[in-house]
Amino acid sequence: MISVQQACHLVLEHTQPLIPKMVPLRKALNQVLAVDLYAPIDLPPFPQSSMDGYAFAFESLVDSKVLEVKYIIAAGDTATYRVKRGEAVRIFTGAPVPAGADTVVMQEKTVLQDGKISIQDPSLVLGSNRRLAGSEINANAVALSKGTHLGPAAIGFLASMGIEEVLTYPYPVISILVTGNELAHPGQPLQYGKVYDSNSYTLDAGFRQMGVDQISVRHLPDDMESLKIALHDSVNTSDVIVLTGGVSVGDFDFVTRASEEIGVKTIFHKIKQKPGKPMYFGAFDHENSKSPLVFGLPGNPASALTCLYLYVEPCIKKMANQQSSIKSITAPITADYKKPSGITHFLKAHFDGTMVTPLDAQESFRLKSFARANAIIHINEDAVEIFSGDPVDVYLLPSC
């Protein structure tokens, strides 16, 4: 068995960012730019009104604060106009400010009578309420830098410049293989001796929470040949293969043997931790366009989810050229805790912003307490006794 620190190091050591791909802008949410992006146009592309009001030449006010209204210009109007001294045009937010005009007065600061406006805004200055072309960004300037995380605002910004696709680091394609003769599908009648499959739902949801959208799920019997076939099928279609169940030492636990027989090299099997001790991690010796990493997660639901957060999530994020979204802090614990030396314990917990409380029902088969958890307490392997008020390491789980 290896330590938690060794396991974390080995997973990341064998993980590399995926080759960047061009993706439609609508599909790029939460991905990371692989290159600098340059503005193809000025933004805004023309002088724009920032208010509903009237556009005119500021020098007109030297002669009179009463101006004749000549035209109406709405947002999206493609006609061209020219404003002369002493004239104004009715204009709306986002519409192009016509040639000859350099200032916009808000409609609330005017009085309209007989086709003329009287301007009643003592604070008005040259250029008021006008956005210059390129005032947000000039054409050919760097719009977003390589490594930028594409959130809603970034995607909207790129769309506003007419960009329709971007080169990003993609999220990996995931294959989930669920083993177990005891499993039934939710929605089916439950026979005696069977339990409903929860792991595939938990893992699928976990991956989607990370940003992954290409996920396949396959259910398999406890059979060596079936598992080998499924693994072989997944090799050419996946970046990461995640198996759940079949990694301990029971007579029907085939994951390690099946993986090795199709060419997977075992990097480690078993970690000095609870829950999640039987976890398996492997990689192919050969290098080709599809050499997926293989994770074997324990069958107990809390064990599988703990390992997903601690080992698989950082791997997925690194493949997408991102940092793990699971943040580590130190906080005082609200209860005493004892454990044997030589094994790391991970406790489902609730962090209230100041202190962290271990939840009841820490057994690895229980998901109910995990459903209430927003944190995991990390008790180091050399610790034996923790007292209430002691600082402990805490992993903050991604928000739902």
Q: What is the CATH number of the domain that holds 238?
A: 3.40.980.10
One-character DSSP codes across 129-143 = TEEPTTSSB-TTSEE
Q: Are residues 213 and 307 in the same domain?
A: yes
Question: 270 and 210, same structural domain?
Answer: yes
pLDDT tens digits for range 129-179: 999 999 999 999 999 999 999 999 999 999 999 999 999 999 999 999 998
CATH of the domain at 77: 2.170.190.11
Tokens of 324: 């793990």
Same domain? For 391 and 279 the reply is no
Asked, for residue 107, whether it belongs to a domain, the answer is yes
Structure tokens at 3: 């330590």
What is the distance between the alpha carbons of residues 229 and 233, in angstroms, rounded to a whole number? 6
* 219 and 293 co-located in one domain: yes
Question: Which two structure tokens, joined as six digits, stand for 133?
Answer: 């072309």
What average pLDDT does the structure give for the chain? 94
pLDDT of 251 reads 44
Q: What is the pLDDT of residue 399?
A: 72
Does 42 fall in a domain?
no
Answer yes or no: do 185 and 203 share one domain. yes
**Are the CB atoms for 95 and 49 separated by under 8 Å?**
yes
DSSP-based three-state secondary structure for 261: helix
The residues, any chain, with a CB within 8 Å of residue 89's CB and separated by 6 or more, are 54, 55, 56, 69, 70, 71, 72, 73, 81, 83, 98, 101
Give the pLDDT score at 254.
Answer: 77
Residue 203 and residue 307 in one domain:
yes
pLDDT tens string 64-85: 999 999 999 999 999 899 999 9
Residue 313 zone, left/alpha/beta (φ > 0; ψ -120 to 50; rest): alpha
100 domain residue, yes or no: yes
Helix (H) or strand (E) holding 73: strand 66-73
How sure is the predictor about 291, in pLDDT bands with cuts at 50, 70 and 90?
Answer: confident
CATH number at residue 331: 2.40.340.10
Whether 352 and 312 have beta carbons less than 8 Å apart is answered as: no
Indicate if 306 and 185 belong to the same structural domain.
yes
In a domain, 96, yes or no: yes
Provide the total of helices (H) and of strands (E) in the chain, helices listed first: 8, 29
User: Which residue range is the domain that position 163 belongs to?
Assistant: 22-37+146-169
Do 184 and 307 lie in one domain? The reply is: yes
| 361 shares its domain with 314 | no
φ, ψ of residue 304 in degrees (nearest 5): -60, -45
Indicate if 243 and 344 belong to the same structural domain: no
Give the total residue count for the chain: 400
Residue 322 CA to residue 332 CA, distance in Å, equals 29
The 10 Å Cβ neighbour count of residue 293 is 24
Q: Are residues 200 and 305 in the same domain?
A: yes
Distances, alpha carbon 54 to alpha carbons 38, 59, 67, 119, in Å? 34, 14, 10, 9
pLDDT, one tens digit per residue, over 178-220 is 988 888 888 988 899 888 899 999 999 999 999 999 999 999 9
Pairing of strands 116-119, 66-73: antiparallel
Report yes or no on 43 lying in a domain: no
Q: Per DSSP, what are the bridge partners of residue 144?
A: 37
Assess contact for 328 and 375: CB atoms under 8 A.
no
Other CB atoms within 10 Å distance of the CB of residue 260: 12
The b/e string for 44-55 (b: 16+ C-beta within 10 A; e otherwise) is beebbbebbbbb
Mean pLDDT of 272-289: 85
- Paired tokens of 12: 């990341």
Confidence check: pLDDT of 400 > 50: no
Overall number of domains in the chain? 4
Say which range, 237-241, 247-251, 266-270, 362-366, has the weakest mean pLDDT: 247-251
Q: 264 vs 173, 233, 311, 363, CA distance in Å?
A: 18, 14, 18, 31
Instruction: Tell me the per-residue pLDDT of 97-114, one tens digit each, with 9 for 90 and over.
Output: 999 999 999 999 999 999
Kindly state whether residues 244 and 118 are assigned to the same domain. Answer: no
